[in-house]
Amino acid sequence: MNKIFFTATLLASLFLGFVLSSCGDDYLASNTTTMRAFVMAVPDRYAGNLGNIPVQEYIYVEQNQSVKMYAGVILDNNQYFGDDIIPFYKSITWEIDGETFNLPYFRYTLKTTGHKYGSLTLVDYLDDTTHTKFEFFVNTPNKISIDFPFDGYNQVDPENSQTLPLKWTTSGIDEWETATCKVYFSTDWDKVWKSPIAEVDCFDDVAMSGRLVDPAIAIETSVTYYWGVKLEVSSNFQETNSDSTDIVAFSTKINSPLSKINLPYTFNNYRSKEYIYAEATLVAANGDTLEVDTLLGSSNNYIKRIAPQSNLKIILRSLNRKEYKADSVIFDVPENTALNLDRMIFNDITPPQAAPANERYNYGEGIGFYIYDDGSGMNANTITTVIDKDTIAHDNMTPGIFFHTSCKSECTLHIYGQDYAGNNLPNVDWKLTRENNYLFVTGPFKSEDN
């Protein structure tokens, strides 16, 4: 039940070849020939010299891995394989897991796991026969996952000395493999994988014993622990293969009448240096407002002591950036519990707006447009000003833009741009009309590009 580690046996095997030959299974139908058969199997992508492949009796592969099978012969102490053996045989027969082939080499995919048997038989032009056997060990993919304490578990007693079982599930351990599990544990998520606290047989019962929290802080404080397990699988025929669990968190109970909630929140894509404020409203199951708290910062944690109850609702709203919206959350608050809730995200899905600073300008003095966004803020680098399909220069001026135009009679203005959340300015046009020494701005109108 315990296992760990990540390994790329398949990738490693791309650089290693295997020669399969059975010692003692070769035989000759006649004593008049010295030709002996052998089998070579290399990974599908192997492009090295087959003559450098070491001789092995077994081959270890992953499920669905493809290998190249080569027939070979030894004649007068010389090795021949692939096309080079064609002059030496009249017939060739492969048998692999019930399938038959009649080629000197071919590609073969191991689609099912387990122990597979094969043979190669060659008959030369004197009708002498040479025969050899070989074996595949096809590995089941190795997996490991945590069962207990699972992610978010928060009922560990902080005061009493105890035995906390650590449970996980492994799969894919074949009968020829040995599995080892390494257990990792920390109060710091970033340091979990730094070094294991134990290395055990994956199928042993494992538990932590003793107090998890100092008695001096156990009453009012919940402590969060992070842990994970790495699975390491080995055999006599393969490189080490590995897998690991995700890092999961569990917490101790609080020995206090009030439980504690921790609700992280973030204003997505907020770039302004201006402080942003939010409001958290706690609503009981019967609809009564319990408390209203003000939150400060674009990314922070709302931490609150609260009496145990069911169906507590938290409503979040932005106070000074009205375009930001967040969902509400409803949950139960058990006794003696520190709840770490999922992060709430404030999103800005409202487009910015543009409007002329004035409807009439003295001709030649320039034109100003307000650009307003009450969410993530306008990204000035995305603003483009186009008059009659020609891009013109503009100055970014809080809270908008300023530009000059030489429009002689009537022109079409279009302003492009996005806020930091990726919302576009409305796809509309504005008309610039010259009358004597004045330039009038009218609109917005449906864009001519629509």
What pLDDT sits at residue 13?
31
**How many angstroms separate the CA atoms of 314 and 254, rounded?**
21
Overall average pLDDT of the 165-171 stretch: 94
Tell whether the model's pLDDT for residue 349 goes beyond 80: yes
Per-residue confidence band for 19, with pLDDT thresholds at 50, 70 and 90 = very low
Instruction: Kindly report the average pLDDT of the chain as a whole number.
Output: 86
Sequence letter at residue 63: Q
Q: Quickly tell me which residue has 């027939």 as its tokens.
A: 71
* CA–CA distance, 243 with 422 (Å, rounded to integer): 39
pLDDT tens sequence across 404-450: 998 989 999 999 999 999 999 999 999 999 998 999 999 999 987 75
Does domain 259-348 fall into CATH 2.60.120.10? Answer: no
Q: How many other C-beta atoms can be found within 10 angstroms of the C-beta atom of residue 308? A: 14
Does the pLDDT at position 33 exceed 70? no
Task: State the pLDDT confidence band at 161, using cuts at 50, 70 and 90.
Answer: low
Q: pLDDT category, 54, cuts 50, 70, 90?
A: low
Distance CA(2)–CA(170), nearest Å, equals 7
Structure tokens at 198: 């134990």
- Reference 376, options 265, 280, 298; nearest CA is 298
Predicted local confidence at residue 239, as pLDDT? 61
Query: Any idea which fold 353-446 has?
Result: Immunoglobulin-like (2.60.40)
CATH architecture of the domain with range 5-139: Sandwich (2.60)
**pLDDT value, residue 215:** 65
Token pair, residue 365, equals: 């003095």
Domain boundaries, the chain: 5-139, 143-252, 259-348, 353-446
pLDDT above 50 (res 2)? no
Integer Cα distance of 92 and 353 in angstroms: 79
- Confidence tier at 403 by pLDDT (50, 70, 90): very high
> Can 143-252 and 353-446 be said to share one CATH topology?
yes
Tokens for 56, please give them. 């092995």
- Decide: 424 and 414 in contact? Cβ < 8 Å: no
Greater model confidence, 47 or 404: 404
Q: How many CB atoms lie within 10 A of CB 398?
A: 8
Contacts of 364 (CB under 8 A, 6+ apart): 404
Which range (92-101, 215-224, 260-269, 281-290) has the least confidence? 215-224
Q: pLDDT tens digits for 116-150?
A: 999 999 999 888 899 999 998 888 888 999 999 99
| Domain 143-252 = CATH 2.60.40.10 | yes
Q: What are phi and psi of 158, to 5 degrees?
A: -80, -15
Note the Cα 374 to chain centre separation in Å.
34
Query: What global pTM score does this model have?
Result: 0.57
pLDDT band (50, 70, 90) for residue 219: low
